[in-house]
Amino acid sequence: MYNLFVPCSTSILLGSLVANLSAANCYKADHLKKPENWALVEKAKYYYIAGFFLTVSPESIQLVAEHAVANNKVFMMNLSAPFICEFFRDAQEKALPYMDYVFGNETEAKTFSKVHGWQTDNVEEIALKISQWPKASGTHKRITVITQGADPVVVAEDGKVKLFPVILLPKEKLVDTNGAGDAFVGGFLSQLILEKPIEDCVRAGCYAANVVIQRSGCTCPEKPDFN
């Protein structure tokens, strides 16, 4: 019923944190424009692009973002890393007006605030400011979702901030935090495309992250038990 278009900028071996950029680092907009590839863009209703792709092909991001706005679709991105906010600020700012959902963690949010001279480390305030950044279209409001490890997830929308508790985990069960942020977004999107309320989206995100951090490497059980 719903389709999700997710461009990937890197191929990562999470167990050793060795990134193999290979062909991903050579991605060009011309590849995206090929009829057989653009057909996938046209078919999708939801778009999620990691912030890391800003280092590879901002032009491709803009093409997808503009298509989403023109066709009343949902466009989403992730702050992804502090260095993206610092060294790819211009490209990030160009894409931000198109973002209907912005994901990130507290460190990335604080770096974003510092780069833009907001003079605050308050994650709730930062999330609210990002949600109120001017949009390219008024069709969809912007919702900012910031994770904070074991602290509550911050969600800013409609000029208000809500906090959602995460699933607390005993230290002895914490195995590997690699991939926790990506798992959270994956869980979140699984409910978003089903048009579930934000509470269910966050709950699914927390569930997915909780499962991943109890396993070595970014792995998941064969069958999830999320309800």
What CATH number does the domain containing 117 carry? 3.40.1190.20
**Alpha-carbon span 44 to 5, nearest angstrom:** 6
Q: Establish if 215 belongs to a structural domain.
A: no
Q: Catalytic site residue 182? A: yes
What's the burial of 22, exposed, middle or buried (CB within 10 Å: 0-12/13-18/19+)? exposed
Annotated catalytic residue, options 30, 90, 158, 182: 182
Radius of gyration of the chain (CA): 17
Q: What is the pLDDT of residue 18?
A: 56
Count how many Cα atoms sit within 13 Å of the Cα of residue 109 in the half-sphere of its side chain: 26
How many domains, the chain?
Answer: 1
Residue pair 96/125 in contact (Cβ under 8 Å)? The answer is no
pTM over cut 0.85? yes
| Average pLDDT by stretches of 10, the chain with 227 residues | 53 46 83 96 96 94 96 96 96 98 98 98 98 90 96 97 94 88 95 97 96 84 81
DSSP for residue 187: H
20 beta partners: 11
- Structural domain boundaries enclosing 100: 4-163
Q: Establish if 10 belongs to a structural domain.
A: yes
Q: Which residues make Cβ contacts (< 8 Å) with residue 157, sequence separation at least 6?
A: 131, 141, 142, 143, 144, 198
